[in-house]
Amino acid sequence: MARMIPPACPPGTPSGAERALFTALEESLADDWTVIHSLAWLDDTGRRLQQGECDFLLLHPTHGLLAIEAKSGPVVYNATRQRWERRGRPINKDPFLQAQRSVHTLNGLLCRDVAGWNRSGLPFGYAAALTDCDRLIGTFPPHVSPDLVILRQDLEQIEDRLVQVLGRFYPPGERMERALFDRAVERLLPEFQVVRTLTARFTEQQQTLNRLTVGQVAVMESMRRNHRLLVEGCAGSGKTVLALEKAVRLEAAGSRVLLVCYNILLAEWLRREARERGAEIDVFHFHGLCEHVVKKVGGEFRVPRENESDFWNVTAPEMLQDALAGYGQRYDAVLVDEAQDFCEHWWIPLEELLVDSSVSRFYLFHDPRQNIFGHENALPMTEPVLVLDVNCRNAPAIAEFVHDLAGIEAGTLADRSDGLPPVELEVADEVEEREAVGRVLHELIDEQGLAPDRIVIVGRYRFENSVFAEQTDLDGIRVANGLETSDPRAVRYVTVYRFKGLEADCVLLTGFRPPSPESYVAASRARQLLHVFHRRPHKQAG
């Protein structure tokens, strides 16, 4: 099956020809084809910008690059007026010239921006798909050949027909190297496959978009083909945004969707994002789900003062399990983010929330290196597994620092500005650490103009046990406990356990002794700036 981008034909696509061609390409093409539907482009090589859109752009490592314009209904070329018409009315643009312009512009873009593309000699051409028609009558104008027309009957053997079209322009050459082919696809996709940012509150000057990488698009497709799937990725690889995006798409397609995570603050963020997208998705952190279901069936949910850990790990999940018999809601899809933090016995009630576990969708997103709560973590599935290996969050220098903490390969970094390298500062004690944090905050806020709400101090210990418990005022900058504060000069302090799954432009780490799972998770929260404060080791006497 070809790689289809987007994975499904958008429901609002008005053109019947586009819908028919999309279905034929999706069902018939082999795996080595990549199909991009409705690709907008901008030609900036001339004195003035020229814009256009390609209905379908197809790429194959041997057969080449093909642009296709799709038109519905019977079409006629009026030679006296030199225009195409449908039912006597003019069509705005010549579909053949449209496709020709698109393929020349996009091939030129790849020749300019992708090293090795021009030398590859890969064929490129264009065609028009008239999928409501099955016969050609009359003589074509000089700029059109019948070889470039895809008719309704051609959809039944569409791959052979596409190869024929490209072969009329150039014979196929040697198969392009996979790395070069992938770079070409990446050059086209990042410009036009844009999704919502992980935080919608960036200032306009520093707004950065997270894009679905080629790997994430492949994950989306695999999620469509598999009803059970385990998605694994390092911190910063886009697991959470992918889980949210998939949940929104499933809900838009008519599914009842449950999105669950471990972290309370992450659940609140996911719920806000889903609401802003207009998606009616049930979003809970796991223990919030336990409480919701138990209370819905009339039960009491009281947290004991003693043995609280046992209550959350064992009793609350058991209460959820018992309450499900009287709980009528079931879901077509359950997506779980932060799956590495879930205990083994929690999976039983989660799977029972599916309409039918044999066909309903059950997707888990996890990073085993982020298991900082020490739960016994046996996942309910071991395959199929898909790996996200592109860091979409951290500036490259921060990503390398984070991966070094975890002892893993740096992997692939998304196309982002280099940013500033992480700053590590050694301090002797609590007083020196607090003073060092104060100096850094004044430099960032007063000298460099960074807004306090773009900075988060992530600590190893609760606020009352942190270096700021006895002194929250750092020469005019207040350290606030938690993420909610109305003080414009306050910088928020939160523990790594509560901030896991979230992120900030600038992160200051205090109280950690790297390397450790906690320091790996905490450092990976920083998008652009990272400061790490270490305690200087005590010298041994003698």
pLDDT digits (tens, 9 = 90+) for 355-380: 998 899 999 998 877 665 556 677 88
H/E segment holding residue 491: strand 490-495
**Residue of 540 and 296 predicted with greater confidence:** 296
User: Do 377 and 438 sit in the same domain of this protein?
Assistant: no
User: Do 130 and 12 sit in the same domain of this protein?
Assistant: yes
Q: Find all residues with CB under 8 Å of 86, minimum gap 6, and list them.
A: 71, 72, 73, 74, 75, 76
> In this structure, is residue 352 part of a structural domain?
yes
What 3-state class would DSSP assign to 500? coil
| Residue 180 CB neighbours (<10 A) | 17
- pLDDT single digits (tens) 92-141: 788 899 999 999 999 999 999 888 898 888 999 999 998 888 888 877 78
Residue 506 vs residues 204, 280, 315, 522: alpha-carbon distances, Å: 17, 32, 38, 12
pLDDT of residue 542: 47
> In this structure, is residue 141 part of a structural domain?
yes
H/E segment holding residue 361: strand 361-366
Mean local confidence (pLDDT), 184-213: 48
Residue 136 vs residues 131, 133, 357: alpha-carbon distances, Å: 12, 8, 51
User: Do 44 and 172 sit in the same domain of this protein?
Assistant: yes
> In this structure, is residue 467 part of a structural domain?
yes
What's the whole-model pTM score? Answer: 0.53
pLDDT band at 540 (very low <50, low <70, confident <90, very high): low
pLDDT of residue 3: 92
DSSP strand pairing (64-70 vs 50-60): antiparallel
> In this structure, is residue 20 part of a structural domain?
yes
Separation of alpha carbons 356 and 331, rounded Å? 9
> In this structure, is residue 145 part of a structural domain?
yes
Domain boundary among 192, 225, 257: 192
Q: Which amino acid is at 34?
A: T
pLDDT of residue 421: 85
> In this structure, is residue 379 part of a structural domain?
yes
User: Do 179 and 319 sit in the same domain of this protein?
Assistant: no
> In this structure, is residue 7 part of a structural domain?
yes
Residue 378 vs residues 340, 381, 382: alpha-carbon distances, Å: 9, 8, 9
Closest CA to 262 of 239, 280, 237: 239
User: Do 180 and 272 sit in the same domain of this protein?
Assistant: no
The boundaries of the domain holding residue 363 are 204-388
Token code pair at residue 275: 């609401």
User: Do 383 and 272 sit in the same domain of this protein?
Assistant: yes
User: Do 384 and 408 sit in the same domain of this protein?
Assistant: no
pLDDT of residue 196: 37
User: Do 378 and 404 sit in the same domain of this protein?
Assistant: no
Q: Which amino acid is at 127?
A: A
Q: Find all residues with CB under 8 Å of 194, minimum gap 6, and list them.
A: 209, 211
User: Do 417 and 357 sit in the same domain of this protein?
Assistant: no
pLDDT of residue 56: 96
Whether the pLDDT of residue 212 is over 60: the answer is no
User: Do 222 and 301 sit in the same domain of this protein?
Assistant: yes
User: Do 10 and 148 sit in the same domain of this protein?
Assistant: yes
Residue 384 sits in a domain whose CATH number is 3.40.50.300
pLDDT of residue 171: 86
Closest CA to 97 of 57, 75, 76, 67: 67
DSSP strand pairing (34-43 vs 390-391): unpaired
Domains identified in the chain, total number: 3
| Residue 536 CB neighbours (<10 A) | 11
- pLDDT single digits (tens) 271-289: 999 999 899 999 999 999 9
pLDDT of residue 193: 38
DSSP strand pairing (473-474 vs 477-481): antiparallel
Going through 87-175 in order, the beta strands assigned E by DSSP cover: 89-90, 124-129, 149-150
> In this structure, is residue 522 part of a structural domain?
yes
Domain boundary among 147, 169, 192: 192
| Residue 516 CB neighbours (<10 A) | 15
User: Do 224 and 142 sit in the same domain of this protein?
Assistant: no
Q: For the chain, what percent of residues have pLDDT higher than 90? A: 38
Closest CA to 241 of 457, 70, 414: 414
Domain boundary among 137, 167, 192: 192
What average pLDDT does the chain have? 84
